[in-house]
Amino acid sequence: MKKAGAYLNQKEIAQKILKDNGGIAKTADFAAAGIKKYDVAGLCKKGFLERIRRGVYQLPGNDQITEEQLLRELLPQGIVCVESALFHYGYSDFLPRVWSVAVPRTASRAVGNIGEFPIRAYYIQKEYFPIGKTVENFNGVMLPVYDRERTVCDCFKYRTKLDNETFNKALNAYVADGQKNLANLSQYARKMKLYPKVMNVMEVLLGG
Packing angle of the helix pair 195-205, 164-175 (nearest 10 deg): 70
Residues 125-177 have pLDDT tens digits of: 999 999 999 999 999 999 999 999 999 999 999 999 999 999 999 999 999 99
Q: DSSP assignment of the chain, as one string?
A: ---HHHHHHHHHHHHHHHHHTTT-EEHHHHHHTT--HHHHHHHHHTTS-EEEETTEEE-TT-----HHHHHHHH-TT-EE-HHHHHHHTTS-S---SSEEEEEEGGGHHHHHTTTT--EEEEEE-TTTTTTTEEEEEETTEEEEEE-HHHHHHHHHHTGGGS-HHHHHHHHHHHHT-TT--HHHHHHHHHHTT-HHHHHHHHHHHTT-
User: With 80 as the cut, is the pLDDT of residue 61 above it?
Assistant: no
d(CA 133, CA 116): 26
The pTM of the full predicted model, rounded to 2 decimals, is 0.79
Residues 34-50 have pLDDT tens digits of: 888 888 888 888 888 88
Look over the chain and give the mean of its residue pLDDT values, rounded to a whole number.
89
